[in-house]
Amino acid sequence: MKTKIIIFSAILLMSLFCLAEISKAETHIYSLPFDANVAGETYVLDSDLILDTGVAITVSADGIVLDGNGKSITFAVSGQGHGIAISSGVTGAEILNFTLNHGNYDPRAGEIIAAIRLNGNASNIKIHDNNINIVHGGSIENSFGHGVQLSGGFGTSEGNEIYSNEINIAGTSGGRGISLDTSGTFTGTIRDNEITLTGITSVPAGYPRAISLPSRGPIEVYGNTVNIDSNSSFSQGISLWSSDGNVIRDNTINLAGRNSRAILVDGGSDNNKIYSNVINITSQNQAGENSAGIRLRYGSSNNEIYGNTVDAANSSGICMPIRVGGNEGNGIPLNNIFHNNTLSSQSYVISLEGASQNTDFYSDIINKIGEGYAINFYGTASELVLDTTFSHEVFSGSKLVRLSGIQGELSTSGIIFCQSMIESPDVFVGAGIHDWSISDGPCSYGEQSDTVSPSNPSGLNVT
């Protein structure tokens, strides 16, 4: 009797094991459109497929793994649509190993096409190891093509990971590589992606952006490579608008587009840390155009920008590694700190203009190539540059400074150069009224991260 019980138990265990294996069996996708709607299931794309219009695959249950198996989906061939859409409220889904190709359809006004779109409160989503190609969009106003779009409505989308994807964006204007909606709150990471903008500009649909964060965070953005080609213009690598508490670190941005920004901190983006990024600017700007490595304006405050390398030595025209200031009714940038950056340019290396206050620079290496001004100030009575300190800056090449504005108007005030190699003959005072001084110390510093202390990173004697 005991032997029979043992044999029965063994058979029962084997049956349960087989049932478990069956429950984990893959479901293959042979046609489109398709709804992946069984929680915890793994779905595998069986072959290259095409869908003329609509959503190719909808993920509508939790814990789904959607494996592209190295195959491709071509979507939005003759009408508006998305490659993969993740429904609002879905959690724990994973999207990987797809090639997602945008077809021939050019979105109309009010339309968006996206290779992967997260809707509403979808959270804890992993999107990785996909190849995404967006080739149309922005030929008319308010029409866009996105690689990965997180569309949160007014909800919260938490714990998402977007990593190791290759995203290529082309078209007329307004394209986005990875984009978060303005009205949502998002947390998670964007890392180790390569995003390329090719032959794209801002008219008529708006500025193209490789990574767009116009929303509440925090998001950590690191290890990404962004390429903006020389046929692009008015483009942005990593763009923050009204986005707080993010970490932007260890990214590489290769900026060849004209009139473009590698990192833009804009629209009241506060308390962000931007560090250890490498920015290479080779823009060939024409008259009236300018590019910037790190641009901060419009009320963005309490940001710390440090340990970055911005090299514009091989650019032409006006290409500024750091550019600060700008109000235009959006508020004055306040209490921002720049330190331990390595900056090179053939034009202005640092430019402060059009309203800013309480800006601290210290322990930066400033390499001005050729003749001209290393640091440029421009202010007006309505947009003053106030209370700016340069301490322990190290100069290679020109250390000339220009203070300028409008004749008879107070333009800059509270400008202090403290132990920064700058002497009185280095400062050119142009139009406007300017309050500035040179100090032997002690120098004051804004509050900085523990990772880098205010010091002279080059070891040179700057006293």
Label each residue of 16-33 as H, E or C.
Answer: HHHHHHHHCCEEEECCCC
Give dist(CA 142, CA 420) in Å, integer.
48
Pairing of strands 225-228, 194-197: parallel
3-class SS at 412?
Answer: strand
Give dist(CA 420, CA 393) in Å, integer.
5
Residues 6+ apart with CB under 8 A from 328: 298, 354
Residues in the chain: 463
Q: Is residue 172 part of a domain?
A: yes
Q: Average of pLDDT values for 405-416?
A: 93
Q: Average of pLDDT values for 135-157?
A: 86
- Token pair in block for residue 347: 């034009």
Q: Is residue 454 part of a domain?
A: no
Q: Which residues pair with 161 in a beta bridge?
A: 126, 189
| Residue 221 Cα distances to 128, 197, 226, 237, angstroms | 15, 18, 12, 12
Are residues 77 and 52 in contact, defined by beta-carbon separation less than 8 angstroms? yes
The CATH number linked to 132 is: 2.160.20
pLDDT of residue 183: 73
Weakest-pLDDT range from 22-36, 173-187, 386-400, 444-458: 444-458
pLDDT higher than threshold 60 for residue 219:
yes
pLDDT of residue 456: 33
Q: Is residue 7 part of a domain?
A: no
pLDDT higher than threshold 60 for residue 100:
yes
Q: Is residue 13 part of a domain?
A: no
Q: Average of pLDDT values for 269-280?
A: 98
Q: Which residues pair with 28 in a beta bridge?
A: 44
Give dist(CA 427, CA 232) in Å, integer.
36
- Token pair in block for residue 434: 């300017």
Q: Where are the beta strands (DSSP E) in 135-260?
A: 144-151, 156-163, 166-169, 176-180, 185-191, 194-197, 209-213, 219-222, 225-228, 236-241, 247-249, 252-255
Give dist(CA 222, CA 69) in Å, integer.
27
In 224-243, which positions are buried (b, 16+ CB within 10 angstroms) versus exposed (e)? bbbbbbeebbbbbbbbbbbb
The count of C-alpha atoms lying within 13 angstroms of the C-alpha of 299, restricted to the half-sphere facing its C-beta, is 11
Range of the domain at 327: 23-439
Q: Average of pLDDT values for 353-360?
A: 93
Number of domains in the chain: 1
What is the model's pTM?
0.92
CA neighbor of 227 nearest in space, from 267, 196, 189? 196
Q: Is residue 314 part of a domain?
A: yes
pLDDT of residue 421: 93
- Token pair in block for residue 164: 């190791």
pLDDT higher than threshold 60 for residue 19:
no
Are residues 354 and 386 in contact, defined by beta-carbon separation less than 8 angstroms? no
Q: Is residue 185 part of a domain?
A: yes
- Count of helix runs (H) and strand runs (E) in the chain: 1, 44
Q: Average of pLDDT values for 112-138?
A: 94
pLDDT higher than threshold 80 for residue 109:
yes
pLDDT of residue 308: 98
Q: Is residue 17 part of a domain?
A: no
Q: Per-residue pLDDT tens for 346-356?
A: 999 999 998 99
Q: What is the mean pLDDT of the chain?
A: 90
Residue with structure tokens 């110390």?
Answer: 441
pLDDT higher than threshold 80 for residue 331:
yes
In 74-96, which positions are buried (b, 16+ CB within 10 angstroms) versus exposed (e)? bbbeebbbbbbbbbbebbbbbbb
Q: Is residue 9 part of a domain?
A: no
Are residues 103 and 134 in contact, defined by beta-carbon separation less than 8 angstroms? no
- Torsions phi, psi for 141 (to 5 deg): -60, 145
Residue with structure tokens 């034009």?
Answer: 347
